[in-house]
Amino acid sequence: MPKSTIKGLGFYVPENIVTNHDLTKIMDTSDEWIKERTGIKERRWVNDDKLSTSLMGTYAAKKAISDSGLDKNDIDFIIFSTLSPDYYFPGSGVLLQKNLGIKEVGALDVRNQCSGFIYGLSIADQYIKSGMYKNILVVGSEIHSGGLDKSSRGRSVSVIFGDGAGAAVVSATDSDSCILSTHLHSEGKFAEELAVIKPATTFWIDKIVKNDDESYFPYMNGNFVFKNAVVRFEQVIFEALNYSNLKTEDINLLITHQANLRISQYIQKRLKLTDSQVFNNIMKYGNTTAASIPIALTEAYQSNLIKKGDIVVLAAFGSGFTWGSALIKW
Ligand code: UT7
């Protein structure tokens, strides 16, 4: 049976840097509060109308394809994870396909928010193991900035989120350097604890009449999400380790979805991991949802923090609630 490996990585973030100080000019917040509660110093927010979620994903994908040494025509399936698609429909996968000029391969959109990249990676892994495809492009891309409540009312949500895109080429391999396992979960009873409710089929756009209607901005029950996140991250990391009879000492690098630095630090402490076993970059980019893991993975890889044979653990938790992990032997 073929196995799958990450053959190429790339990421793209918009040029426009928004610091915590910049945010203090538009809402009642402070650099101290944001750094202390989230670890974030700055994030990227798109300020170019031409830049869409699919276009940022395309830029990241081009880099990942180039890094893999393959040609775009070698890609036989596209998986696009996002909670901020260009359009209500169609999905952003087909738009990326158009941008890249890839002909008639399948394109699938994944709607699993912060866990979207892990879900996409898992789908790619299974398709490759089944022999159906050989080279799958997995993309996570988000533009949050346009949909945030940037007034003081929305401060507990809007200071966290950033825009960006990351991509991986997942390819068939016979080598032992491969994705060892993936683990996916969800708990729909908490779907509304972190959500954008409108517009939707339950509230079509023509019913949104009042400007002060908060329900078309992201809502997050922050403390509740935090408490669930720390539990689920730990569970799903151990699920992955146990599957391969590995221990926390065997982890060379843990990359969690960059939701909040305090969450990552809590997990690190619980798992008794050293600083060199954990990679974080939320300080620079904020929480980029489906893009956060591929951006962080690419940065870690480009910084030579991952070498052949390393055990790399990826883990995500977020809206849905959904969560998941992937264990990779590099
Ligand atoms: O990516 C998907 C998964 N998402 C997550 O995992 C996020 C999980 N949650 C969190 O990261 C945190 O809950 C937040 C960063 C969202 C909030 O941090 P917190 O430590 O839970 O703060 P809080 O919501 O309990 O608010 C504490 C105080 C409140 O004031 P009072 O009531 O104590 O007077 C808030 O009004 O901080 C206030 N506050 C702010 N102050 C300055 C909330 N947001 C801000 C802000 N600037 N931006």
What's the 102 CA to ligand 1 centre distance in angstroms? 43
> Residue 110's pLDDT is what?
98
Q: Which atom of ligand 1 is nearest to 319's Cα?
A: 2
Q: Whose CA is closest to atom 44 on ligand 1?
A: 156
* Lining residues, ligand 1, CB within 6 Å: 29-30, 33-34, 37-38, 114, 155-156, 159-160, 222-223, 225-226, 229, 259-260, 263, 287, 318
> Residue 43's pLDDT is what?
98
- Do 160 and 216 fall within a single domain? no
- Do 107 and 138 fall within a single domain? yes
Give yes or no for a contact between 293 and 322, defined as CB atoms under 8 angstroms apart.
Answer: no
> Residue 208's pLDDT is what?
61
- Do 315 and 188 fall within a single domain? yes
- Do 291 and 317 fall within a single domain? yes
What's the 39 CA to ligand 1 centre distance in angstroms? 12
Ordered mean pLDDT values, 10 residues apiece, the chain (330 residues): 96 98 98 98 96 98 98 98 95 98 96 98 98 98 96 96 98 97 98 91 67 80 97 98 98 98 98 98 98 98 97 98 98
- Do 119 and 153 fall within a single domain? yes
> Residue 170's pLDDT is what?
98
> Residue 323's pLDDT is what?
98
Q: Whose CA is closest to atom 28 on ligand 1?
A: 156
**CA 317 to CA 325: how far, in whole Å?**
9
What's the 218 CA to ligand 1 centre distance in angstroms? 14
Q: Which atom of ligand 1 is nearest to 287's Cα?
A: 1
- Do 156 and 212 fall within a single domain? no
Burial of 82-113, coded b for 16+ CB within 10 Å and e otherwise, reads bbbbbeeeebbbbbbbebbebeebebbbbebb
- Do 82 and 198 fall within a single domain? no
> Residue 280's pLDDT is what?
98
What's the 222 CA to ligand 1 centre distance in angstroms? 6
Number of domains in the chain: 2
Q: Whose CA is closest to atom 3 on ligand 1?
A: 318
> Residue 214's pLDDT is what?
79
Q: Which domain holds residue 140?
A: 3-173
Residue at which a domain ends, from 173, 205, 236:
173
What's the 152 CA to ligand 1 centre distance in angstroms? 12
Instruction: Write down the catalytic residue from 20, 112, 114, 144.
Output: 114
- Do 167 and 275 fall within a single domain? no
- Do 52 and 109 fall within a single domain? yes
> Residue 270's pLDDT is what?
97
> Residue 30's pLDDT is what?
98
- CATH number, domain containing residue 106: 3.40.47.10
- Do 154 and 11 fall within a single domain? yes
> Residue 207's pLDDT is what?
62
> Residue 220's pLDDT is what?
94
- Do 96 and 165 fall within a single domain? yes
Residue 178 falls in the annotated catalytic set: no
- Do 183 and 165 fall within a single domain? no
Residue at which a domain ends, from 140, 173, 206:
173
Q: Which atom of ligand 1 is nearest to 225's Cα?
A: 8
Residue at which a domain ends, from 137, 155, 173:
173
Instruction: Write down the catalytic residue from 144, 257, 260, 280.
Output: 257
